[in-house]
Amino acid sequence: MFFDSNALLHVFVGGTAFELNRTESRFASSYLGGPPDLQELTREDGGDTPLHHIATLSCDEFDCSYRGRLPLLHGMTYQGSLLEYEVAESGHVVRTTYLSPNESDPEWPYPGYPALLPYLQLEVWKKRICTWEEFANEFINAPNEPPADLTVMMPPPMHIGFSLWGRHGDTYPVQLCFGLNFTTMKVEVTSWC
């Protein structure tokens, strides 16, 4: 198995897999949680509560054609949500275009879910050349083809003192999948289990 069980994010782009993990470096340009660092967030998805900032990635680290920031957002309090949004201005402007369902559930994924995820700085810890099939085999129910030009997977972060999905969702595990299309700069976010 390539991936470290403690990795927080896994990225696949252009036949290369990257593993991101926590770092103590003050100069890390990617980070998990905290508030999103956006100049503008326009909600056109009909949602009734704020989205969660899962992470922001510096795509300069991934040897790909997009050289900006990639904010990763998700409707954590929208049960089984599918979210779509567009990224502009090197990742500083986001416009959400679709969210289903668009009514949140105060008990989902568990009562008292925090507005902000814990803030952790991230850096690439491992990198390898691989096929999508090799990458996807590390995850439950991953599709046969990459869903986008750049795909980010987030399994439950079992070692940072925070539950992403609650006891049952974290142990199952439910995984977030973010897909960025370089041509349209659209991100589609789903959860797989």
Q: Is the pTM of this model over 0.85?
A: yes
At 79-102, the pLDDT tens digits run 989 999 999 999 999 999 999 999
Range 15-31 average pLDDT = 93
Number of neighbouring beta carbons within 10 Å of residue 184: 11
Question: What is the per-residue pLDDT for 151?
Answer: 97
Question: What is the per-residue pLDDT for 2?
Answer: 46
Rounded distance, CA 98 to CA 91, Å? Answer: 18
Residue 14: both structure tokens together: 């252009």
Quickly state the pLDDT bin for 110 (edges 50, 70, 90): very high
Rounded distance, CA 2 to CA 11, Å? Answer: 13
User: Looking at this protein, which amino acid is placed at residue 39?
Assistant: Q
Question: What is the per-residue pLDDT for 135?
Answer: 96
Residue 163: both structure tokens together: 């539950």
Tokens 């949500």, residue located: 81
Beta carbons within 8 Å of 112's beta carbon, 6+ residues apart: none
Question: What is the per-residue pLDDT for 160?
Answer: 85
Beta carbons within 8 Å of 107's beta carbon, 6+ residues apart: none
Share of the chain above pLDDT 90, in %: 76
Number of neighbouring beta carbons within 10 Å of residue 179: 20
Residue 74: both structure tokens together: 């998700």
Task: Report which of residues 91 and 3 the model is more confident about.
Answer: 91
